[in-house]
Chain A
Amino acid sequence: MEGTGKKNNVSYARWGYIFIFPFFAAFLIFQLIPLVSTIYYSFFEYYRSGLKVIGPNPVGLANYKAIFESDFLKYMGNTIILWLLGFVPQIFFSLLLAAWFTDLRLRIHGKQFFKVVIYMPNLIMASAFAMLFFALFSDNGPVNSFLISAGILDHPFRFLSTVWGARGLVALMNFLMWFGNTTILLMAAVMGINPALFEAAELDGCSHLQIFFKITLPMIRPILIYVLITSMLGGLQMFDVPQILTNGKGSPDRTVTTIIMYLNNHLYSKNYGMAGAVSVVLFIICAVLCIGVYFSMNGDDSLVRSRRKKRGGA
């Protein structure tokens, strides 16, 4: 009996390795090797001049130096502005909608329908969505003709030729694409809260606002952190929407040029050295920000807990 049991264990373990093998093989080939070679080539001069390949010649940290001598901080700023412009309204509306949809007293009808509708924009490919906005908001596009025929404007507003017009459109698109997704995540989080807490609060005469701030928000904090971190990573890597909306130009005055668009500019001459260095810098920034956000929001929590423990102990 004992013998067969042992055999069983061994063979199952082996199957386990076989089943996870495809993932590790794919990860190695499509992620780890490119990642390592990106870091490796960031220390080289390696580009194409016409059809001639220059390099790779090791240049040490020259690429990194060039990045910080360029307008990298401006593109970093652009990226953060574009992300915040989309994220702030997104989190506001998502919280509001999540609170409404899960409120037992409001009894909203057709919740499923609304969930589907607000999620819809996320199903469209970002590039197709950007093309659509490009056409809608062009100088002679439908939005301008509507504004003129409705008497709001007397000549077309050139959205894509003004800094805040172009930025606003990128933010609006990111907002529309992601608020549904966030709402559904937050609803799941709210529904995971023990209903007894809400009932108790109501019995004690809490207002909607009090319930929201004193019960809902603190209870969904882990999910909020998750939403914040994923959105921040997505925001830092923003590319397709501004790239297609501005036709790859990042104009006006390079104010819609995000970091990844800056990286993409280097691929015009297949400049793997500079592009690699930009990727590495972005990787470090992402890692630092994520760790920062994670600890600042979780650190709070553990502090509270430790204080409680102290109180309990005393």
Chain B
Amino acid sequence: MRKSIKSLASLALAGILALSMVGCGGGAESTGSKDSTGEAGKVLNIWCWNDEFQSRFNDYYPEVKEVAEDKSTTTLNDGTVVKWTINPNEGNNYQDKLDEALLNQESADANDKIDIFLIEADYALKYVDSDYTMDVTELGLTADDMANQYQYTKDIVTDSNGAIKGTTWQATPGLFAYRRSIAKDVLGTDDPAKVQEALADWDKFDDVAEKAHEKGYKMLSGYDDSYRTFSNNVKAPWVDDTTVVVDDNIMEWVEQTKEYTEKGYNNKTSLWDDGWTKDQGPEGKVFGFFYSTWGINFTLLANSLETPEEEGGKLEVGNGIYGDYAVCEGPQPYYWGGTWICGAAGTDDADLVKDIMLKLTCDEEIAKQITLDTQDYTNNIPAMEAIAADPDYGSDFLGGQNHIALFAEAAKKIDMSNAGPFDQGCNEEMQKAFKDYYDGVVDEKGAKANFETAIKEKYPELTEVKWDD
């Protein structure tokens, strides 16, 4: 009797275990099959690293029917569900996850395949020169469709065989955004033309920094603010074969930043950290920030508000320092960032991918509307020049200034011929290694050694670092 009870009990236990295992497996299977035969129809997977493109898509793609409450999906008129996968960019996180997904693209279920992914200027070539991106002409986009786009936005995504692998809705010339109130105090004027005159080259920029310092202001917020103006004006790409060559222009940045730090011209912040963000807001005492197009309408605007939009703050003068910024060209032309839309090889929705690219990046009307609504600088030369020439156009955020006119000038000067696949890693490690130098923890030699170590860790294929100075 006892024996049979024991074996019964153990049988029951084993049964429960087995059942629960089968149960889990079955559950996963059934949800999987529901997805692939679901009545909702097609799924379009889009991968990106923030909600910038998502909001452009939701607001301006004409086929959008409705957006889910949590914004994780967007439904189109034909029933297609757009699924958003957003992974933050920093420390290669976005690329790591994207790479993993792309390497599994072939074996993925039709509805899990990536259809569109976004890439940034700093690592565009890594994807452009791979088989994971589709030639846009293969998708159906013609050279005529893209005729109005800035040439550089096409050059950077052209692979070694001359095929264009992506397309963008924005051009990203950089400007210097300064505080009108502080400029008035320091220079006696807030007129963009006169401020530009005072900041026309680096020597003049240094002079203004000194004056600002005397009045109790900081010229720049942190160490990396002016980085792009130097790193974009280098003679050659970061990497030559397997050697990293540090351009002397980058060492100029090191020199300038060390000097600014020692003299107290900056606030010792780093890009994207709390202090940096705060410096752009109502409590900030920083003269200005180097920002490209997206930075002004997307980042700076949000940071300038006292009450954020999500908390009911309005975009109007009186909320924080809305209206207190203005832009000028600054000492050197540069660009920063930029986002390209790529069709992923293996997409099952080539027509839709083409249509999204066509509507969002080639349509003059939509491009114009995006700029008028959001102050973003779009990638359509006639549309931008029309706005630039419009005497009635002005940005409330920039105190009524027509910043598009300035961008239109700066966009012509963008040269991305020195972009390369290692840019993100090199830029990040450069800023990281020399932060210790500015902080006084290491000397210049130590910072250089740390940069070399970090680069060789990140890219085992790079064998040597050469300093150009």
Interface residues of A (CB under 8 A from B): 8, 11, 15, 18, 22, 45, 47-52, 54, 70-71, 135, 138-141, 158, 161-163, 247-249, 251-254, 262, 265-266, 268-269, 271, 274
1/0 contact string of B411-452 vs chain A (CB within 8 Å):
000000000010001000000100110010110001000100
Q: How far is the CB of A265 from chain B (nearest CB, A)?
A: 4
Q: Which residues of B contact A52 (CB under 8 A)?
A: 130
**Which residue of the partner chain A has the closest CB to B432?**
A249
Once A8-B3, A253-B442 are accepted as A-B contacts, the answer to whether A47 and B132 lie under 8 Å apart by CB is: no
Q: Max chain B CB contacts within 10 Å: which of A15, A52, A163, A252? A: A252
Q: B439 contacts which of A18, A45, A158 (Cβ < 8 Å)? A: A158
Q: Which of the candidate stretches B269-277, B332-340, B381-389 sits at the interface with the other chain?
A: B269-277
**Which residue of the partner chain B has the closest CB to A50?**
B126
Q: Which of the candidate stretches B30-38, B50-58, B454-462 sits at the interface with the other chain?
A: B454-462
Contact (Cβ within 8 A) A268 B457: yes
Task: Give the distance in Å from the alpha carbon of A161 to the alpha carbon of B267 in the complex.
Answer: 13
Q: How far is the CB of A141 from chain B (nearest CB, A)?
A: 8
B27 within 8 A of A: no
Q: In the complex, given contacts A47-B461, A252-B435, what are 20 additional A-B residue pairs having Cβ atoms less than 8 angstroms apart?
A: A8-B3, A15-B7, A22-B17, A51-B103, A51-B127, A51-B130, A54-B461, A139-B268, A139-B274, A140-B274, A140-B275, A161-B268, A248-B91, A249-B432, A251-B432, A253-B436, A262-B457, A265-B457, A268-B92, A269-B459
Q: Which residues of B contact A247 (CB under 8 A)?
A: 91
Contact (Cβ within 8 A) B126 A51: yes
From residue 223 to 282 of chain B, which have CB atoms closer than 8 A to chain A?
268-269, 273-275, 278
Task: Give the distance in Å from the alpha carbon of A82 to the alpha carbon of B273 in the complex.
Answer: 25
Interface footprint category on B: 35 or more
Q: Which residues of B contact A11 (CB under 8 A)?
A: 7
Contact (Cβ within 8 A) B436 A251: yes
Contact (Cβ within 8 A) A254 B274: no
Q: B457 contacts which of A15, A140, A141, A266 (Cβ < 8 Å)? A: A266
Interface residues of B (CB under 8 A from A): 3, 7, 10, 14, 17, 91-92, 99, 102-103, 126-127, 129-130, 132, 268-269, 273-275, 278, 421, 425, 432, 435-436, 439, 441-442, 446, 450, 453-454, 457-461
Q: How far is the CB of A269 from chain B (nearest CB, A)?
A: 6
**Which residue of the partner chain A has the closest CB to B439?**
A161
Contact (Cβ within 8 A) A50 B421: yes
Contact (Cβ within 8 A) A49 B436: no
**Which residue of the partner chain A has the closest CB to B456?**
A70
Q: Which residues of A contact B458 (CB under 8 A)?
A: 265, 268-269
Q: Which residues of B contact A254 (CB under 8 A)?
A: 450, 453
Contact (Cβ within 8 A) B275 A138: yes
A-B contact list, 14 entries, CB within 8 Å:
A15-B7, A49-B459, A54-B460, A138-B274, A138-B275, A139-B269, A140-B274, A158-B268, A161-B268, A161-B435, A161-B439, A251-B435, A253-B446, A254-B453
Task: Give the distance in Å from the alpha carbon of A166 to the alpha carbon of B276 in the complex.
Answer: 20
Task: Give the distance in Å from the alpha carbon of A105 to the alpha carbon of B126 in the complex.
Answer: 71
**Which residue of the partner chain A has the closest CB to B437?**
A253
Task: Give the distance in Å from the alpha carbon of A51 to the alpha carbon of B7 in the complex.
Answer: 56
Q: Which residues of A contact B436 (CB under 8 A)?
A: 251-253
Once A49-B461, A138-B274, A139-B268 are accepted as A-B contacts, the answer to whether A252 and B102 lie under 8 Å apart by CB is: no
Q: Which residues of A contact B130 (CB under 8 A)?
A: 50-52
- Listed from nearest, the 5 A-B pairs whose CB atoms lie closest are A252-B441, A161-B439, A50-B126, A265-B457, A51-B130
Q: Which residues of B contact A158 (CB under 8 A)?
A: 268, 439
Once A49-B459, A268-B92, A269-B458 are accepted as A-B contacts, the answer to whether A139 and B132 lie under 8 Å apart by CB is: no
